[in-house]
Amino acid sequence: MNRDNDKGKVLINRSLILGAAQFLFLIVIIFRLYYLQVYQADKYKTLADENRISTRLLVPPRGVIYDRHQEMLATNRQNFQVMIVAEQTPNVQETLDAFKKIMPLSAEEEQKIKKDLKKNRSFVPIKIKDNLTWEEVSKIQLNAPDLPGIIIDEGLSRYYPLGEKTAHVVGYVSSVSENDVKDDPLLEVPGFKIGKAGIEKLYEKKLRGKGGNLKLEVNAYGRVMKEIERIDGIPGEKVDLSLDARLQTKAYDLFGEESGAAILLNVHTGEILAFVSIPAYDPNLLTQGLSSTEWKELNSNEKNPMVNKALAGQYSPGSTFKMVVALAALESGAITPQTRSFCAGKMFLGSHAFHCWKKEGHGYLDVVQALQHSCDIFFYETAQKLGINKISEMARRFGMGEKINIGLENEKPGLLPTTEWKRRRFGEPWQQGESLISGIGQGYILTTPIQLATMTARIANGGYEVVPTFEKFGLENKPEVKKMSLSPLHIELVKQGMFDVINVPGGTAFGSRFDFHGQKMAGKTGTTQVRRITMKERQSGIIRQEDLPWKFRNHALFVGYAPHDNPRYAVAVLVEHGRGGSSVAAPIGSKLLLEALKLDATSQPVE
Amino acid sequence: MYKFYETGFKSQTLSLKEKFQGLSFAYILFIVMLAAIGVTMLYSAANGSWRPWALNQLIRFGLGFAVMIGLAMINVRIFMRYAYVFYFIVLILLIVVEVTGHIGMGAQRWINLGFIKLKPSALMKIALVLALARYFHSSSLQSIESTRGIIIPVLMVLFPAFLVMTQPDLGTALMLLFSAGAIFFAVGVQLWKFGVVLLGAIITMPIAWHFLHDYQQNRVLTFLNPERDPLGAGYHIIQSKIALGSGGVFGKGFLKGTQSHLNFLPEKHTDFIFTMLSEEFGLIGAVAVVIINFLIIAYSFSFALKSSSYFGKLLAIGLATNYFLYVSINMAMVLGLIPVVGIPLPLISYGGTVILSVMAGFGIILSVNINRNINIGKD
């Protein structure tokens, strides 16, 4: 009985303890709730927002690149992509099979699509093909009922209307690579492309614009539920180039199958109107991305389509260098306008024979005639009197021997040798014979086509230090151009020589002359050997250029300006292994100058 | 011996009307409130739709409500009489599940009765309390305090707990052990015996560890360090805390919980429904639910104390503790206080068996209250 009472009491006591324990536990729960929902609420609110808000960058449209007449050189084109969304089709394989009947897919492509489908969630669109044509788009849309899950998406892709014709100026855009500086979050956007060469690279920042922000609410699987906020970016700025698309096209087309470079400048402002390096690559293909075999092919082509020969090609200037030698000689007094030399076809320095290109010789010539006939003996003798240092000094004043810094990549400085340079470079003294061959633009001297164009423009404008540029100048922002301290008479003599080259019978480019409403051009040809002619060959007869393999043929050069009376345009043409300056390079230069004059005539009222 | 007390009452049995009047309407109101909150949350969990959960839950609650009232109308002596029978039937069902489960396709925890999938382990929670209440009602304090006297009830606990553990359902097995432990404590088993069991448990822990399934080991490890597997098992705890914390004091609003509706919160209609509630209704909503649950438990205890029979007292305390364990384990779990063990929040989480077993428990507690003045003999 007592024990039973005790049993009941124990139960009541213990139950009260149990109840109190349970009460305490619920208090703990409430404290925990308070801790999480009040004390740590801010932290968890941030985490919840990080979960649900996905911020995406909005890619701004890239700036358009125009020529001087608002012709588009680089623009953005609608790019149609066909995609598949797995969750919208009952059977992915069936849809793909049906699609293949409309547009064939390679096994490789199909495998990649399936891999992407597996990797991504079923609502993520997977790209099947891009850069669809209109016909392809309409074909797919026509068959839409048989293609569940297939959608067509529009994006913007870079397009170069002139393709390879402007490739070496405008450059191209391509996917961001590991080596690119990631200074902008836009670069992390999949599929984003940046300028990799040319103006696209030079003005990358300006063309790119500023990315916008899109805040989206996403669920745990990454599906977009709604748009929260959209801040539009700033579109890329346009770029106006000095180029004239018509002259650019003309220059490119004039080369035909030949390889080389041509530059056409405004002699007063330095504005580049045409700038080609041939052959070129198709920037539209590079923008889409090339396969590794296509890359290899481009880079192993013996005509180097990826190299910008106008800036990065260093060549002996050959006879186009003779104006600089003549000016150096006249300015230093080594020769006078009246100085005459006798050309017998060859001359000797010690026991070594130096040949004129004309075996039988030119007889007596003054400096103007020497330029007209491109007599080598005259310039050997002149260079001998002058010495290499004065030649190089004058060449430097005309823009050679260092980079012009036009802004495009891989520009080369060329080379102007001096006695000091040779001692440093080879530890040997300068040889007089080396001065002689420098007098005809051979030997150590190397120039780039853009430097030759600069030289020609500075001669044509009467000795003003214009600098080539892709910048377009208006009336209000004409560049300031310094005048070089040269005797106007000496420049006139050189120009006379260049005029005679074209317009006087016997001139080396007489065949390329034109008379457009009284406007004539002046110029100078050049032909440089890429192989040594041996004594034996000289005796047995020099092998005809046509019989040599392409890469052993001579380089052909031409520099010129027009109109002679009031120069506006200067041109430099290099045809790699083009055999002869007169026969191959001069006609190209002549036609390009004539085209420039003709276009001038159409854009300006005739007086 | 007891005649003295019995003469104090007109009758040992009450009429149906008397019984009905004896129902605690406040108690029922709390239960209905929780169920209503549950249905509301299930409506939200389905992004504002009655399907697939809210409507089903409502029907099940209706069924459970009928079961509760039905059981409340039964004389507490009947529970006493059939306690062991019921216990053995459920035990046999557990064995059947165990056997068919092994023959069938892996782990199976229920018997399909067509209209409902019956979980014997849920029934066992009630059956064990009934059986232990009857056992301790009939034994003396002397026997309870002796070691021999508690061997039989210990076996009554361990056998079903072991069966449930091997299903495998660690959560339910632990609940059986805990609610049995609470009953042992309530009847007066000496504390040092609990100490011995605890010590034994600690010693055998490394051995038991090897018997745990990989996913169970992972749950424990993940609880100890949620960051070790932030996308796997730890994901649940991390996302649950983010949902809760981001709810703040006032919550994000009905149907506006971002963690829940954007699917960052897993199992939001079952085990993690309290998280969702806390996200949408904030600290205020969460504390309200805790308070209602506290009231249900407090009322149950007061019914127990008012009951004149030892059996009734123990029955109410056991069943109330059982309910408390559900609530506290679930809440502690979603709050990151204990490992994720897969215990739902009764009346609010979606799930038929839990509702039925909990409502049955409430029915029995109501019956204890209605029959509080009825004495029960020692056998």
CA distance A38 to chain B (A): 6
Q: Is the pLDDT of residue B9 over 80?
A: no
Closest CA to B83 of B16, B2, B122, B137: B137
Spatial separation of the C-alpha atoms in residues B372 and B375, rounded to whole Å: 8
Size (chain A), residues? 607
**A interface with B, Cβ–Cβ below 8 Å:** 1, 3-4, 6-8, 10-12, 14-15, 17-19, 22-23, 25-26, 28-30, 32-34, 36-38, 40-41, 43-45, 47-49, 51-52, 217-221, 225
Q: Is the pLDDT of residue A333 over 70?
A: yes
Size (chain B), residues? 379
The predicted model scores a pTM of: 0.72
Tens of pLDDT, residue by residue over A179-208, are 877 778 888 777 788 999 999 999 999 999
Query: Within 10 A of A247 (CB to CB), how many other CB atoms are there?
Result: 25
Burial of A129 (0-12, 13-18, 19+ CB in 10 A): middle
**Token digits for A47?**
């985490």
Cβ of B246 within 8 Å of Cβ of A41? The answer is: yes
Average pLDDT, chain A: 89
Domain ranges of chain B: 15-370
Q: Dump strand ranges (E) for A289-344.
A: 341-343
CA torsion, points A534, A382, A525, A355, in degrees to nearest 10?
-20
Query: Which chain A residues contact residue B259 at CB under 8 A?
Result: 48, 51-52
Tens of pLDDT, residue by residue over A539-576, are 777 777 778 888 888 899 999 998 999 999 999 999 99
Which of helix, strand or coil describes residue B8? coil
Q: Lowest-confidence range among A429-433, A472-476, B235-239, B365-369? A: A472-476
Average pLDDT (A485-489) is: 92
Query: Within 10 A of A120 (CB to CB), how many other CB atoms are there?
Result: 13
Q: What is the pLDDT of residue B229?
A: 65
Tens of pLDDT, residue by residue over A213-243, are 888 898 888 788 888 899 988 999 999 999 9
**Token digits for A545?**
């250029």
Cβ of A18 within 8 Å of Cβ of B321? The answer is: yes
Q: How confident is the model at residue A601 (pLDDT cuts 50, 70, 90)?
A: low
Q: Strand A126-129 vs strand A72-84: parallel, antiparallel, or unpaired?
A: antiparallel
Q: What is the pLDDT of residue B11?
A: 53
**Token digits for A125?**
């669109």
Query: Which chain B residues contact residue A36 at CB under 8 A?
Result: 241, 244-245, 335
Average pLDDT (B26-44) is: 96
Q: Is the pLDDT of residue B4 over 50?
A: no
Domains parsed from chain A with CATH numbers: 57-240 (3.90.1310.10), 245-292+304-603 (3.40.710.10)
Q: What ipTM goes with this model?
A: 0.92
H or E segment to which residue A592 belongs: helix A586-603
Cβ of B283 within 8 Å of Cβ of A38? The answer is: yes
Tens of pLDDT, residue by residue over B216-263, are 777 777 666 666 666 666 788 889 999 999 999 999 999 999 998 888
Whether residue A444 contacts residue A438, with contact meaning beta carbons closer than 8 Å, is answered with yes
Q: Is the pLDDT of residue A1 over 80?
A: no
Q: Is the pLDDT of residue B149 over 90?
A: no
Cβ of B264 within 8 Å of Cβ of A52? The answer is: yes
Cβ of B337 within 8 Å of Cβ of A33? The answer is: no
* Residue A242 annotated to the active site: no
Nearest by CB: A3 against B141, B182, B186: B141
Task: Identify the residue whose tokens are 């390009």.
Answer: A592
Q: Is the dihedral of CA B1, B2, B8, B11 positive or negative?
A: negative
Task: Identify the residue whose tokens are 């040594």.
Answer: A532
Q: What is the pLDDT of residue A607?
A: 41
Q: What is the pLDDT of residue A539?
A: 76
Measure Cα distances from A65 to A476, B111, B291 in Å. Answer: 21, 76, 71
Spatial separation of the C-alpha atoms in residues B343 and B358, rounded to whole Å: 13
Tens of pLDDT, residue by residue over A443-454, are 999 999 999 999
Q: Is the pLDDT of residue B5 over 50?
A: no
Q: Is the pLDDT of residue A490 over 80?
A: yes
Spatial separation of the C-alpha atoms in residues A239 and A218, rounded to whole Å: 38
Q: Is the dihedral of CA A103, A108, A114, A120 positive or negative?
A: negative
Query: Which chain A residues contact residue B277 at CB under 8 A?
Result: none
Residue A369's φ and ψ, nearest 5 degrees, are -65, -40
Average pLDDT (A245-253) is: 95
Which of helix, strand or coil describes residue A147? coil
**Token digits for A63?**
């700036």
Cβ of A29 within 8 Å of Cβ of B242? The answer is: no
Tens of pLDDT, residue by residue over A40-64, are 999 999 999 988 988 888 889 999 9
Query: Which chain B residues contact residue A4 at CB under 8 A?
Result: 140-141
Nearest by CB: B290 against A3, A29, A51: A29
Cβ of A22 within 8 Å of Cβ of B142? The answer is: no
